[in-house]
Amino acid sequence: MKRFILLSTLFFFTGVNFLSAQELYMPRNVQIAVKNGTRTLDGSPGINYWQNGGKYNIEETVTPETKVVSGVEQIVYSNNSPDTLKILAIRFVNNVHKPESPRGSEVNDNFFTTGLDITSFSVNGENYNIDSKNWGTVAAVRLKQPLLPHSSAQLNIAWNYPLSKQDGREGQVDSTTFYVAYSYPRVSVYDDYNGWDFLPHTLRQEFYNDFNDYQLSIKVPKDYVVWATGDLLNADEVLQPGIAKRLKDSYTSNDVIHIADFNEMQQHKVTLQNDWNTWKFSADHITDVCYAVSKNYVWDASSALVDSKDNRRASIQAAYNDTAEDFHHSVKWAQNSLQYFSTKWPGVSYPFPKMTAFQGHADMEYPMMVNDATVSDTRRFGNQGFKFAQMVQDHEIAHTYFPFYMGTNEKRYAFMDEGWATTFEYLIGVDENGKAHEDSVYKMFRINRYIHDPSAEEDQPIITMSTQVSGAGYGNNSYGKASLSYLALKDMLGDATFKKALHHYMDEWHGKHPIPWDYFNAMSTGSGQNLNWFFNNWFFTNNYIDLKIDTVQREKDFYTVKVKNVGGFAIPFDIKIIYADGQIAMLHETPAIWEKNSKEQLFKISSKKIIKSVEVDGGIFMDYTPDDNIWKG
């Protein structure tokens, strides 16, 4: 740092007036929500904030011979809104398997099914004649008696649907292993800024769900194990005594316990030998429940301390094909993940009693569960052990916080969950593998394709509704670009202030439905700074990443370096000076430097020595044209 003094940063770009406190574009429906007092400009839920929810009591049967899931449920749905509801929107995501459903990605013939068949439907004891044959992934049921504000209705529904042969986020993994998700009809979200959520599920966008309380019971033939969201309530009624003891021991153990190995599964030594067993689970104040069943998977378990204040542990389990080498490490990795996420980033105690990793093909998160493909590591990263498999599992577990602790609307604003999961994936990766390795992985996997693709799709503003973008526009807006915005903000605020602001946002909105403006406003309030200029720069523009050293001029004992921000994003970067005598000096600039002038900045470097080269380097903020980031004297 010797002989390297930043004397001043000059602003001389003219022709644009910068307002000191910019206002962010706010959609009219959000403005109305603020006016109605359900949301606020300081980013806290408004005095009139409300959300609807239900108590779900679900009983499902999985019949392996027919691959059919059938169920009955009772839903007590509470209308906490000030509105009289004349319809109920009923959602069944798995109707996306019907050939006539709109889809955002390709499927093969094995994907198609006949979808949902509702066999009975009643509201408050009154039978409804429902023909679900023409239902899509969401359908309106007109109520015979409107549901008044601050009242509830009891729905009783019976249904069945076939499991798809092609499994993705759910379906048949093999002939005796099924991942059963989105398996019950549910009331779609009715919220304060948008009313009923009638957006169809198309496979691309993910989900938006109320927080509900669940009692879930799953009936399967003997020798089938069930892994599900929530606490297993009746281990002794479904497992043989020795197996049940191992499972209970795992709840307090740091060691990985093999609850059931391959031979035990084959030799009928795991479940009770009744013709059918009914596995019972419960989970409260959570956005969804799902489960997996298998007759041939092995089962590991352990637990981790996730809250030292009350010595709370979370159960950690894994269910997989014994041949999947990476999954043999799954429980150990998850112990590390839960402890990292609880204590470092986001630094919020893991909020659930359990996490189960299941081997499927989805690379997908569910409350308290993840469904990941097995990866032989050479597929992605060369010979580096199982780092890719661990990274994917870390990512999916990170989703615990966004969208399951924070009930974000993934369908409209995917960056509110994928951007954070990608950020936590990076931060835990630095902890696990070191910064150099993780930087290269993040650049290769999350940024490289985006920044080197000059297509207009890549530069659509991040705030663009996720339903209105596709392909690269969806992927990079949701993952890489959004993650970079969070990491840029962390760099600008510093870790302590960034964490304080993030925790403010999370404390205000966990268990609720925040939207982007709640995030923006809560972070400004939590940090004690008006960050609108930053959010405007990152979320509401067509910016990309491209710095350039425009000129370097020497005058007496100092150099003047003009750096242009061609792409426009307010990124952090390093300036690296190499002197003629070989000495190197480094300086870090946070995104704050772009607040007053996001187009260009002048740096004065006091030096009596000759400078050989000056380079600007954004690191993981990869530059579109890195060749012009270096000046050589």
Residues interacting with Zn ion, by CB under 5 A?
418, 421
Residues facing residue 122 across a β-bridge: 127, 156
The CB-of-418 to Zn ion minimum distance in angstroms stands at 5
**Which residue number, 334 or 421, has a Cβ lying nearer to Zn ion?**
421
The CB-of-180 to Zn ion minimum distance in angstroms stands at 21
The CB-of-135 to Zn ion minimum distance in angstroms stands at 28
Which pair of structure tokens corresponds to residue 611? Answer: 């400078």
**Which residue number, 286 or 421, has a Cβ lying nearer to Zn ion?**
421
**Which residue number, 204 or 246, has a Cβ lying nearer to Zn ion?**
204
Q: How far apart are CA 464 and CA 414, in angstroms?
A: 10
The vertex-603 CA angle with 600 and 606, nearest 5°, equals 170
The CB-of-152 to Zn ion minimum distance in angstroms stands at 34
**Which residue number, 298 or 398, has a Cβ lying nearer to Zn ion?**
398
What are the C-alpha distances in Å from 6 to residues 554, 565, 600, 631?
15, 19, 16, 18
The CB-of-425 to Zn ion minimum distance in angstroms stands at 8
Q: How far apart are CA 552 and CA 562, in angstroms?
A: 6
**Which residue number, 421 or 441, has a Cβ lying nearer to Zn ion?**
421
Q: Give which of 64, 65, 67, 96 is closest to 162, Cα–Cα.
A: 67
**Which residue number, 370 or 501, has a Cβ lying nearer to Zn ion?**
370
The contacts of residue 494 (CB under 8 Å, 6+ apart) are none
Residues facing residue 286 across a β-bridge: 212
Q: Give which of 570, 528, 522 is closest to 545, Cα–Cα.
A: 570
The CB-of-428 to Zn ion minimum distance in angstroms stands at 14
The contacts of residue 194 (CB under 8 Å, 6+ apart) are 29
The CB-of-105 to Zn ion minimum distance in angstroms stands at 15
**Which residue number, 155 or 203, has a Cβ lying nearer to Zn ion?**
203
**Which residue number, 69 or 370, has a Cβ lying nearer to Zn ion?**
370
**Which residue number, 421 or 451, has a Cβ lying nearer to Zn ion?**
421
The CB-of-410 to Zn ion minimum distance in angstroms stands at 9
- Report the amino acid identity of residue 378: T
The CB-of-179 to Zn ion minimum distance in angstroms stands at 17
The CB-of-30 to Zn ion minimum distance in angstroms stands at 25
Q: How far apart are CA 183 and CA 198, in angstroms?
A: 18
Q: Which residue has tokens 């009772």? A: 74
| Structural element, H or E, at residue 585 | strand 584-589
Q: How far apart are CA 73 and CA 54, in angstroms?
A: 12
**Which residue number, 418 or 491, has a Cβ lying nearer to Zn ion?**
418
Q: How far apart are CA 285 and CA 306, in angstroms?
A: 19
Q: How far apart are CA 615 and CA 631, in angstroms?
A: 6
**Which residue number, 206 or 300, has a Cβ lying nearer to Zn ion?**
206
Measured from the Cβ of residue 507, the count of other Cβ atoms closer than 10 Å reads 12
DSSP assignment, residue 406?
S
Which pair of structure tokens corresponds to residue 252? Answer: 């307090």
Q: How far apart are CA 477 and CA 410, in angstroms?
A: 12
The CB-of-82 to Zn ion minimum distance in angstroms stands at 35
**Which residue number, 130 or 389, has a Cβ lying nearer to Zn ion?**
389
DSSP three-state, residue 100: coil
Q: Give which of 427, 400, 280, 406 is closest to 340, Cα–Cα.
A: 427
The CB-of-376 to Zn ion minimum distance in angstroms stands at 22
Q: How far apart are CA 435 and CA 479, in angstroms?
A: 20
DSSP assignment, residue 568?
B
Its sign, for the CA torsion 209, 211, 217, 218, is: positive
Q: Give which of 307, 312, 310, 329 is closest to 320, Cα–Cα.
A: 329
**Which residue number, 364 or 602, has a Cβ lying nearer to Zn ion?**
364
The CB-of-360 to Zn ion minimum distance in angstroms stands at 15
**Which residue number, 291 or 402, has a Cβ lying nearer to Zn ion?**
402
What are the C-alpha distances in Å from 628 to residues 188, 614, 623, 624?
51, 11, 10, 10
Query: HEC profile for 548-559?
Result: EEEEEEEECCEE
The secondary structure of 335-362 as a DSSP string is HHHHHHHHHSSS-----SSEEEEEESS-
The CB-of-269 to Zn ion minimum distance in angstroms stands at 37
**Which residue number, 295 or 387, has a Cβ lying nearer to Zn ion?**
387
Q: How far apart are CA 373 and CA 354, in angstroms?
A: 20
Work out whether strand 212-221 and strand 53-63 pair parallel, antiparallel, or are unpaired.
parallel
Q: How far apart are CA 455 and CA 483, in angstroms?
A: 20
The CB-of-244 to Zn ion minimum distance in angstroms stands at 34
> Residue with CB nearest Zn ion?
421
